C-alpha cells in the first residue's frame, strides 16, 4: 500500500533562459511520481541525475528543489507520531551562500506555519564534469522536517526560502483534495507537549534509512 504524497514532485520555478531569439522566461515542473520504496540518498541521487539530464539545455540553473512526504503507515502510527508526517527536501544551488535553506513552511488560511527541522546534510560535489554539477551546481542540502498531517489536508502551499536571493519558492500546491491512500489518517493537530521521539526514530529508520546513516 502506498502512503507517500506526490512522491518527490520537483519544481523549477521561473529561471531565465537566453536564446538566439532573445530572452524568455521558463517555468518547468515534473510529472508527479509515486513510489513504494523507502527514500534514501541513492534514490534522491538518481532523481536529481535524471532531472539534470532533462534540463541540461537550460544550464546553469540557479537553484532547484525536490521534495517527498512520508506518511504514517496506519492510524495507530499516526497517533504515535503525534499527527506528523515527515518531509524531505533536497535543494541545490549554484551559490553556496544560498544554502542551507532559511525556512520551510506551509501557507494556509492566510497564515504561515514554519516546519520544524530534524536534520540537515550538506553535500558538495567535486565532480565538476558531471551533468548534475553542470546543470544545478556543486552545492546541495538535504533536510528533513516534521509536517503536520492536517496542513496537508487543507488548501495551501508548501514553500521554502533559500538563505538568500530567493524567498517563497513553491514546491507544492494543496487544493484540499486528499489522495485516497492517506484519507484514513486523522487530521488532528499535533500536541505541542506530547513526546513521540521513539515513534519518530522508528519511522525514520523505515522510511528514510539513508539519512540516519549519514
* Arithmetic mean of pLDDT over the chain: 84
Q: Provide, rounded to the nearest whole percent, the portion of the chain with pLDDT above 90.
A: 72
Q: What is the CATH number of the domain that holds 185?
A: 2.60.40.10
139-171 residue pLDDT tens: 999 999 999 999 999 999 999 999 999 999 999
pLDDT at 64 over 60: yes
Least-confidence region, from 39-43, 117-121, 126-130? 39-43
- Specify the pLDDT at position 7: 42
- Specify the pLDDT at position 41: 79
Rg (CA), the chain: 17
Quickly state the pLDDT bin for 43 (edges 50, 70, 90). confident
Give start and end residues of each alpha helix (H) in the chain: 41-54, 75-80, 131-136, 149-152, 197-207, 209-213
Q: Provide, rounded to the nearest whole percent, the portion of the chain with pLDDT above 70.
A: 81
Distance from first CA to last CA of the chain, Å, rounded? 28
Q: How many domains is the chain partitioned into structurally?
A: 1
Which set of grid coordinates corresponds to residue 204?
525514520
The residue segments making up the domain with residue 22 are 4-213
**pTM score of the predicted model:** 0.85
Quickly state the pLDDT bin for 42 (edges 50, 70, 90). confident
Q: How far apart are the C-alpha atoms of 206 and 4, rounded to whole Å?
A: 13
- Specify the pLDDT at position 210: 83
Which set of grid coordinates corresponds to residue 9?
514532485
Quickly state the pLDDT bin for 37 (edges 50, 70, 90). low
Q: How far apart are the C-alpha atoms of 126 and 85, rounded to whole Å?
A: 33
* DSSP result, 113-133: EEPEEEEEEEEE---TTSHHH
- Specify the pLDDT at position 39: 73
- Specify the pLDDT at position 44: 86
Amino acid at each position: 500500500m502506498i502512503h507517500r504524497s506526490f512522491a518527490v514532485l520537483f519544481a523549477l520555478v521561473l529561471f531565465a533562459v537566453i536564446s538566439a531569439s532573445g530572452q524568455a522566461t521558463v517555468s518547468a515542473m515534473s510529472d508527479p511520481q509515486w513510489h513504494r520504496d523507502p527514500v534514501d540518498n541513492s534514490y534522491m541521487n538518481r532523481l536529481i541525475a535524471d532531472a539534470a539530464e532533462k534540463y541540461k539545455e537550460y544550464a546553469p540553473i540557479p537553484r532547484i528543489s525536490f521534495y517527498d512526504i512520508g506518511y504514517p503507515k496506519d492510524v495507530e502510527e499516526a497517533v504515535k507520531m503525534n499527527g506528523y508526517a515527515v518531509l524531505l527536501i533536497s535543494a541545490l544551488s549554484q551559490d553556496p551562500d544560498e544554502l542551507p535553506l532559511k525556512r520551510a513552511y506551509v501557507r494556509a488560511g492566510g497564515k504561515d506555519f514554519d516546519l520544524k527541522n530534524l536534520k540537515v546534510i550538506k553535500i558538495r560535489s567535486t565532480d565538476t564534469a558531471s551533468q548534475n554539477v553542470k546543470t544545478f551546481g556543486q552545492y546541495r542540502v538535504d533536510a528533513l522536517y516534521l509536517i503536520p498531517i492536517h496542513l496537508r489536508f487543507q488548501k495551501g502551499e508548501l514553500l521554502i526560502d533559500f538563505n538568500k536571493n530567493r524567498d517563497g519558492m513553491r514546491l507544492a500546491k494543496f487544493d484540499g483534495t486528499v489522495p485516497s491512500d492517506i484519507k484514513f489518517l486523522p487530521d488532528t493537530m499535533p500536541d505541542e507537549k506530547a513526546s513521540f521521539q521513539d515513534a519518530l526514530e522508528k519511522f525514520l529508520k523505515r522510511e528514510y534509512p539513508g539519512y540516519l546513516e549519514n
